[in-house]
Amino acid sequence: MIKLSYSTFGLTNLDFLDAINVVNEAGYAGIELSFHRDQFNPFEITEDYLATIKKYLESVRVKAACVATASHFFTPSRPHEPSLMSPDLAGRKRRIDLVKRGIHVARKLGVSLVTFGSGFIRDEHIITPSVNPRELLIDSIRQCLRAIRDDEDITLLIEPEPGMFIETVEQGIDLINEVNSPRFKLHLDLCHMFCSEHNYVAALAQAASYTRYLHISDAQEGYNLKIVKMTENLILDLDFASYLIYFPENADYLLVDRNHPIYFFDEKPTREQQHRIDSILNQACIEQALVYVDYNGLYAGLTPFDDEIFTYLISVPGLSFDVLERAKPIAAYLRGVKTANGKPLVEKMIANTLTGIVHFHEIPGEGTLDFAASFNALTENGFSGYGSVELYHHVASWKKALTDSYRHLSQYV
């Protein structure tokens, strides 16, 4: 059986106790308690405040489903960092400490689940190939597990996420089997599954027995765009995605797209650079004429696409944040500049996923995810537990998100 829950990560402009109250009044069975810098900060929570929360939870119908340790907790511009597999031990210890604080909160409030993500392969992993990120991740998880007492009913959960080191169900199950602890299981996000599994319903069925908790949101197809660093052996598959190639020697970018090839430059390319560009486009069988755009003329201020682009860029692994930040005005240009027919170059939201589905949490019912088939695949294969609606992209419209989600999902559970 799936019991509907709602994450406080979508209610961060409310007082924390008020957030619990609105979820209770909306009819949900559970509530996810998510760490947040400004609302439920584990470095500011006192024992007295935890006692107040526990007493309040005992007075309402809604039950605490899970403690989420907030991948976005530390530096706002660099969510998910540092991670449990950061090469820097100090960084890893910061994330380990955050998960341990989640265990402490769960212990005090009588919550049995604590969740986190693996993190991404970043440029610091690329430049230190002697460091094995999987070994670092496993060691960090085992350190977190040691914080759970033998007599406690607390399970740690890892959430696969688009672009992360642990991205797919198969990777998650392999990690669980290697860690080999009854206190370490899967947390699945239906939006993430839609993004990362070519048959997400079958993958849900496969993962059901390993899964203790769900995140729920909708999603839709987008414009799949991969940002990659230029190498001599670069392979492009335009049936899978378009590519924004970064040239380290001059920090220019080449968009390899069947309909809109564009070179974004600081200075006009040299003859040698032009030859490389032509070679790439020829190998990709690009027939459209290349357009040249002066990078310095791109608008770099606020746009209506900032939330979408931010979510997209932080999911791109293996590149420095400076390379990704420099790509931001390019993404805004693709989404905002109008063509001769009055439409933008890229009409759909930008995705960086294995399926082309956009990792942008939509209100259930406003995307194309099949909730009936998803829930059936889980329950028919042994899953029973909470499924929390996580809509951090809809904080400003939380009332609509809260009520519309319950109205749409309650027909399936």
Strand partners of residue 296: none
For residue 256, give both structure tokens: 């390899």
* Backbone φ/ψ region at 356: left (φ over 0), alpha (ψ -120 to 50), beta: left
What element of type H or E holds 2?
A: strand 2-7
Q: Which domains are assigned to the chain?
A: 2-218+361-409 (3.20.20.150), 223-351 (no CATH)
Residues of the chain with pLDDT > 90, as a percent, come to 95
- Give the whole-angstrom CA distance, residue 22 versus residue 15: 11
The answer for residues whose C-beta is within 8 angstroms of residue 326's C-beta and 6 or more apart is 251, 253
Distance CA 24, CA 12 (A): 16
Distance (Å, whole) CA 6 – CA 390: 6
Tokens 């399970």 belong to residue: 155
Model confidence band, residue 340 (pLDDT cutoffs 50, 70, 90):
confident
Instruction: Inform me whether the pLDDT recorded for 369 exceeds 80.
Output: yes
Q: Please check the confidence at residue 40 and state whether its pLDDT lies above 80.
A: yes
18-35 residue pLDDT tens: 999 999 999 999 999 999
**Contact indicator for 171, 160 with CB cutoff of 8 Å:** yes
Per-residue pLDDT of 191-224, as tens digits, reads 999 999 999 999 999 999 999 999 999 999 999 9
pLDDT at 367 over 80: yes
The answer to whether the peptide bond before residue 160 is cis (omega within 30 degrees of 0) is: no
Res 341 pLDDT > 90: no
Mean pLDDT value of segment 362-386 = 98
Predicted confidence at residue 208, as pLDDT, reads 98
Q: What is the mean pLDDT of residues 370-379?
A: 98
pLDDT at 339: 78
What pLDDT, on a 0 to 100 scale, did the predictor assign at position 193?
Answer: 98
Tokens 């080449």, residue located: 254
The C-alpha atoms of residue 112 and residue 92 are separated, in whole angstroms, by 24
Q: Which of 163, 206, 156 is nearest to 185 (CA)?
A: 156
pLDDT for residue 90 is more than 90: yes
Q: What are the phi and psi torsion angles at 378 (to 5°)?
A: -75, -50
| pLDDT band at residue 71 using 50, 70 and 90 as cut-offs | confident
User: At 65, which helix (H) or strand (E)?
Assistant: strand 63-68
Q: What's the rounded mean pLDDT across residues 72-99?
A: 93
CB 383 within 8 A of CB 3: no
Give the pLDDT confidence of 98-107 residue by residue, as tens digits. Answer: 999 999 999 9
CB neighbourhood size of 298 (10 A): 14
> What's the average model confidence in pLDDT over 290-296?
97
Mean per-residue pLDDT of the chain: 96
Compute the average pLDDT of residues 37-45: 94
Whether 141 has a pLDDT exceeding 90, the answer reads yes
Report the C-alpha gap between 391 and 393 in whole angstroms: 5
Tell me which residue has tokens 């500011």: 44
Contacts of 148 by beta carbon, 8 Å cutoff, 6+ apart: 103, 154, 156, 183
403/75: higher pLDDT: 403
pLDDT of 292: 97
